Amino acid sequence: MSSRKVIVAVLVLVVVAGAWYAFRPERLFINQKVNEQFPTASAANMPAKQLASGTFHAGAHDTKGTASIFQLGDGKRTLRLTNFETSNGPDVHVYLVAAADAKDSEAVKTAGFIELGSLKGNIGDQNYDVPANVDLAKYRAVTIWCARFNVNFGTAPLTNDSMQSMNR
């Protein structure tokens, strides 16, 4: 084999490896399932209080389930995704968005967001800590976001009858 063919073969291998890393095509066929239990608070006999909830609607991918924010008995706040399902993908995160809803990717970028963490699984119940300094009257939607491609997979607008009680 000539040295030119070796160089071409190495370049093709590098391009294929880079494309695989960027797109992670196997994730189109492999689901990551998770089934976390609801967190238990350290404060005895203090039930969790639901502060807000909403149902996911599709963005770039079909996304289903419910997002709920709870205040636990010890004062910590948790976002819980239940009956959750979306597409798998590379570098997917959970964001709180500073808008009432985010129907497309541009709405997330324009409104601003706070990252709660990497998506633990594309199917199943899961929990994410909500920092104490997050103003839930401002951050009123949960978005599943692919950072690799800047794409909103789906959003759950959060609602509550008493928005003022959310930051007590």
Q: What is the pLDDT of residues 54-83, one digit of tens each?
A: 999 999 999 999 999 999 989 999 999 999
What are φ and ψ of residue 52, in 5° steps?
Answer: -160, 155
Q: Tell me the C-alpha distance between 53 and 58, whole Å.
A: 16
pLDDT at 166: 43
What is this structure's pTM?
A: 0.80
Q: How confident is the model at residue 97 (pLDDT cuts 50, 70, 90)?
A: very high
Fold (CATH) for 49-163: Immunoglobulin-like (2.60.40)
Rg of the chain over all Cα atoms, to the nearest angstrom: 20
Q: What are the pLDDT digits (tens) for 115-152?
A: 999 999 999 999 999 999 999 999 999 999 999 899 99
Type of residue at 147: A
pLDDT at 10: 77
pLDDT at 82: 98
Q: Are 76 and 129 in contact (CB under 8 A)?
A: yes
Q: Which residues pair with 57 in a beta bridge?
A: 155
pLDDT at 163: 45
Q: How confident is the model at residue 164 (pLDDT cuts 50, 70, 90)?
A: very low
Give the number of residues written for the chain. Answer: 168
Consecutive H or E run containing 21: helix 3-23
